[in-house]
């Protein structure tokens, strides 16, 4: 694979230029470019510049509102609703996360309901932002049908990622962000681009047969489907995400979302569920971190155990240039 090196500022400029040319306003282009740059900084390549062509496609097709102006309202003191106005999710987050954090710090727990949003990025930026404000956070989104429920050979669920973050005094938060499918769709697409095979158990081809070829698994290129992680356990967690991010938010589940999507390659419209909790209020003590730290210390005492998020936080200490797929850089440059 041929690569080129770009500074973090160059990555941000490249992403921003492509979004602006495709019709995004300044605020949304900056929010998305920031999310993309953070992903490349932290080594989450499948959610970095790799996503820009999909972002651009949905702007050009008109599915995403390039001049979106998300509105935030308090339905109750602890329930915030953000109508994203068909914006990309990072713009909605910029409008509502501070208000969500304030509500959680006041009342102990608060929820954000994001509707008519197009989520195409990693989930950890949202939960990590809340954890850096001293809050425990959880979020999830559904997507387009790409995953077969346990025992089935038909796409019903999205990859349906979840993210959880725990704040730590004087240290980086513990954060995980994971698809409830055996592998994230972006990682499958990157493997296909780079000519790699996948481990067994990741997915099925169009005929419902097991395969390790990412091009056959990808519903967009081969008509296949991904399997849930952990068999029926992952399948049930994926169902939970469908319900939390769909009907609970007044939005559709993945296989219903597909019926109204224009298939331009960009993210569909949907909902996002975000929960924020104040550990100081819920535990009733200012010493709430002690028990958690003892668990983290125990885990780190084992050889081979790494706390969730540690690798990303280590990667971001390097502020130097990043190696990016050369063909991808050319594609994004042409878009801009």
Active site residues: 46-47, 187
Helix axes 52-60, 8-22, angle to 10 degrees: 20
Backbone angles phi, psi at 329, to 5 degrees: -60, -40
Q: Find the length of the chain.
A: 336
Burial class (CB in 10 A: 0-12, 13-18, 19+), 128: buried
Pairing of strands 109-118, 79-88: parallel
Q: Give the distance from CA 234 to its chain's centroid.
A: 17
Beta bridge mates, 204: 210, 225
Using CA atoms, how far residue 28 sits from 48, 253, 325, 328, in Å, is 16, 26, 25, 22
Q: What does DSSP assign to residue 284?
A: T
- Helical (H) or strand (E) element with 322: strand 322-325
Instruction: Spell out a b/e string for 198-210, using b for 16 or more CB atoms within 10 Å of the CB, else e.
Output: beeebbbbeeeee
Q: Give CA–CA dist 204/227, Å, rounded.
A: 7
Q: Is 226 helix (H, G, I), strand (E, B) or coil?
A: strand
Backbone angles phi, psi at 194, to 5 degrees: -90, 5
Backbone angles phi, psi at 332, to 5 degrees: -70, -40
Backbone angles phi, psi at 311, to 5 degrees: -65, -40
- Helical (H) or strand (E) element with 59: helix 52-60
Q: Which DSSP string corresponds to 219-288? A: TTTTS-EEPBTTTHHHHHHHHHHHHHHTGGGT---HHHHHHH---SSSPPPEEEEEEEE-HHHHHTSTTT
């Amino acid at each position: 694979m041929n690569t080129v090196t770009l500074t973090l500022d160059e990555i941000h400029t490249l992403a921003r230029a492509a979004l602006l040319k495709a019709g995004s306003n300044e605020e949304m282009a900056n929010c998305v470019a920031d999310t993309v740059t953070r992903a490349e900084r932290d080594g989450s390549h499948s959610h970095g510049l790799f996503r820009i062509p999909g972002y651009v496609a949905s702007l050009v097709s008109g599915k995403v509102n390039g001049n979106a102006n998300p509105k935030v309202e308090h339905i109750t003191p602890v329930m915030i609703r953000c109508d994203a106005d068909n914006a990309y999710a990072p713009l909605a987050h910029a409008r509502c996360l501070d208000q969500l954090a304030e509500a959680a710090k006041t009342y102990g727990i608060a929820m954000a309901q994001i509707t008519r949003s197009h989520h195409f990025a990693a989930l950890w930026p949202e939960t990590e932002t809340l954890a850096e404000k001293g809050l425990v956070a959880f979020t999830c989104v559904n997507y387009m049908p790409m995953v077969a429920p346990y025992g089935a050979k038909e796409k019903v669920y999205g990859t349906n990622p979840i993210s959880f973050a725990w704040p730590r005094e004087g240290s980086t938060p513990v954060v995980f962000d994971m698809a409830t499918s055996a592998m994230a769709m972006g990682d499958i697409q990157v493997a296909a681009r780079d000519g790699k095979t996948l481990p067994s158990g990741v997915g099925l081809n169009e005929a419902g047969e097991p395969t390790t070829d990412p091009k056959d698994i990808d519903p967009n290129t081969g008509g296949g489907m991904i399997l849930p992680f952990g068999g029926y356990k992952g399948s049930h967690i994926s169902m939970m995400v469908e319900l939390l991010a769909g009907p609970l938010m007044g939005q559709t589940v993945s296989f219903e979302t597909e019926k109204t999507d224009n298939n331009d390659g960009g993210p569909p419209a949907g909902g996002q569920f975000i929960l924020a909790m104040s550990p100081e209020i819920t535990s009733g003590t200012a010493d709430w971190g002690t028990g958690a730290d003892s668990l983290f210390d125990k885990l780190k005492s084992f050889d081979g155990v790494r706390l969730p998020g540690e690798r990303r936080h280590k990667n971001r200490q390097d502020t130097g240039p990043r190696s990016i797929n050369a063909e991808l850089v050319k594609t994004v440059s042409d878009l801009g």
